[in-house]
Structure 1
């Protein structure tokens, strides 16, 4: 009589260690995910809620619709800060990216002491904007900086009073920001240039293309993603600039060098207008999204 041997399942149930290994990464990431949701997206939602209330010194949840945004658009200081941001942001991005590309091309020639020169260019990025603003405030101060030094050297007619000139003070912010950030932009483009196959350059040179033509027609067009990254980084720096303005000009003379970040801080924490400050913060967020969303859309579209 044949005996029937029971079939054992080849698929064993997972052990406790296997289950723990699958759950452990989720447990490790859970606190950071909770903090991200609460401290970033939660506070963004709360700020948006406050922007449609009549909150003053303390949060209030009496909804007033878009009254704070209407009040914001009628505020002369806000209009001035937006105008200053347009001037500062555009000039900062153009000069920083242009200078960064120029420095990257120079270092790409494999010059001597490249490492030391690259470190010197990158060093300002290691400083905080508070330090940068304070240093440039001393340099551009007419009473003790560049103007006084040139006059002490004999050029008594030399003047450089941009720091106290309400029509020119915003350009001093551009000078300081470019000094700090152009080295970082240079590093981005230098990394992009070093990532391009040298055989492309050699083939173009064999065909008779000059070195400027190689960079203009071949190498720089290949760095389109780097250009996008540089625009995103510099525009983000421009929009959130608070510490540089605070240390260098404090928004003055008057509020001629005011930027939206300083406006938001002043109205939220020193003037007891939380609702108006929240509305300005949401307008800044919309400005950032207006830059990020088209960039992310173009990147995702190219990958598809």
Structure 2
């Protein structure tokens, strides 16, 4: 009965997700514009994609955001989880505060941080109002550091969830390990580095997949904060896809960009699947 009950979801997954993916890849080899059409042009859409400066800029921006987001999210989340794992007073309150931003949509987060980083009404205006007239912090209007302005909002939004995952992993470790480390005279930091973190390998892999998937589909935050500006300084692949499919009415180019994003997801999922399932077999 359980297998029968799962058939509708299996059918939905095959038709909607797998079918939609195959449909997108298929039409990425055509010259579809306003409507899909089977006018095959081979790899022409991909050649055009990788010779378009806008796409190259979006890839570079995503790489900068992705590396910084991945490293900082893991580090900050683990440090917060380790502090909460010390069973501090008011742990539930702090845990709720850290997790609360994840309950908000990226649009709300983007708009909130757009106001916070606004040079006239936000942090810069507040500090200058205190008398520090030389203070300058306007990342969203600076093309050189605009991605770091987005990064601040992204870290605020997503670090809480990863922290909770890390905290759950820490709470799953037997207290006898800590007792043995104290008996052997091993310091707290060294215990985390040499013992605890290696034991939390599955937790880190899960966190890595969640963070990476969020990085690849980055869109709402960019639209809410900068809409890709100034100029193309904060353009990202997901926004490139949406613009070409619904504004430029070039479905073939949008499908090609979508397929490249799909490929990047597959590159992440295959190592994860190997580490998870291959390791269990061994």
Establish whether TM, by shorter chain, passes 0.5.
yes
TM-score (norm 1): 0.90
- Look up the match of 1:3: none
* Mean Cα deviation higher: 206-215 or 237-246: 206-215
Out of 218, 222, 245, the residue aligned to residue 245 of structure 1 is 222
State the partner residue of 2:44: 67
2:140 is aligned with 1:163 = yes
Deviation string 1:42-71 (CA, Å, 9 cap, x unpaired) is 110110111000001111111111100000
1:175 aligns to what SS in structure 2? Answer: helix
Question: Residue in 1 aligned with 2:151?
Answer: 174
Partner Cα separation in structure 2 for residue 89 and residue 269 of structure 1: 26
Q: 2:179 aligns with which of 202, 216, 221?
A: 202
Please name the residue that 2:211 is paired with.
234
- Aligned to 1:255, which of 216, 232, 236? 232
Alignment match of 2:22 (pick from 24, 45, 48): 45
Alignment partners' CA distance in 2, 1:148 and 1:191: 40
When residues 25 and 195 of structure 1 are mapped into structure 2, their CA distance, relative to the original with a 3 A threshold, is closer
Structure 1 unaligned segments of length 5 or more: list them: 1-23
1:76 alignment partner in structure 2: 53
Shift, 1:25, TM fit: 4.2
> Structure 1 residue 143: deviation in Å?
2.0
Query: What is the aligned partner in structure 2 of residue 97 from structure 1?
Result: 74
Q: Which ranges in structure 2 are unaligned for 5 or more consecutive residues?
A: none
Residue 275 of structure 2 is matched in structure 1 by 298
**1:32 matched to which residue of 2?**
9
Runs of 4+ in 1 over 4 A off after TM superposition: 24-27
Match of 1:109 in 2: 86
Q: TM-score, normalised by structure 2?
A: 0.97
| 1:272 has 2:249 as partner | yes
Q: Which has the larger radius of gyration?
A: 1
Within the alignment, does 1:213 sit opposite 2:177 as a pair? no
* 1:26, distance to aligned residue in structure 2 (A): 4.8
| Cα distance in 2, alignment partners of residues 181 and 44 from structure 1 | 27
How many residues in Structure 1 have an aligned counterpart in Structure 2? 281
TM superposition shift of 1:33: 2.1
Give the CA RMSD over aligned residues: 1.0
